[in-house]
Structure 1
Amino acid sequence: MTRAHRFTILATIFTFIYALTCLSIIPLPLVSKEVAHQLIPVLPWWLLVSFGAYSLATLGWGLWTFKDCPDAYEELMREISLAKNELRSKGVSVD
């Protein structure tokens, strides 16, 4: 089973459960109906914002600690200088 199939199946299951809770067919345990009716509609937005914050934090941490990987840093710097030299040989002003 590929990742796309697995993702599709899980997304379908979670969407179905979410729809059932939105329609009050499945009650939320330990939560009153009033709170559930206020909480359930904003749940997808909360998940989206949380995922975005996690993604930005992961990206920022990767940029912050990039110089801690000297081999990757040196390889990237070599590739940048190689690209600059190729562009200069074709008559493009790089600097």
Structure 2
Amino acid sequence: MTKATETARFLGIILLTYFIFLFNIIPLPQIIQEEILPVFPWWVLVSFGAYSLGNIGYHVYRFRDCEDAYHELMAEIQIAKDDLKTKGVTID
């Protein structure tokens, strides 16, 4: 089973459960039915957005330069320049 299929199945189960409770097929206490369930999707969306921004901010803060990758890239660029020079291409 692919990751997309697993995700779709999980979201389908969550949505089905939400709609069962929202349309009172399985009764819940009145306060949950009228005040919490209608705003629950917005709460999930805002929570996901806050988590995403926090995660991105943390990883930007922890970002480190990769010295080895820089030197490897510079070596590959030099090899490409040398190869192009042997083929008659002029490079600035």
Common fold by TM > 0.5? yes
Matches within 5 A, 1:76-95: none
Structure 2 distance, partners of 1:62, 1:76, is 20
Instruction: Give the CA deviation at 1:63.
Output: 0.6
TM-score norm. by structure 1 comes to 0.66
Which residue in 1 is equivalent to 2:54?
Answer: 57
- The verdict on how the C-alpha distance between 1:26 and 1:76 changes in structure 2, with shifts beyond 3 A counting, is farther
Matched residue count: 77
Where does residue 12 of structure 1 map in the other structure?
A: 12
- CA offset at residue 77 of structure 1? 8.9
Are positions 1:42 and 2:42 aligned together?
no
Q: For 1:33 and 1:11, locate their aligned partners in 2 and report how far apart those are by CA, in whole Å.
A: 26
Whose Rg is larger? 2
**Distance of 1:47 and 1:38 partners within structure 2:** 15
Letter in 2 for 1:3: K
Structure-2 separation of matches of 1:76 and 1:62: 20
SS in 1 for 2:36: helix
* 1:25, distance to aligned residue in structure 2 (A): 1.4
CA displacement at 1:37 relative to structure 2 = 1.2
Match of 1:33 in 2: 30
What whole-Å deviation, never above 9, does each CA across 1:9-68 have from its counterpart, x for those lacking one? 11111111100100111234xxx313431110111111011011101101000011113x
TM-score normalised to structure 2 length: 0.68
What is the RMSD of the two structures over their aligned residues, measured on CA atoms?
2.6
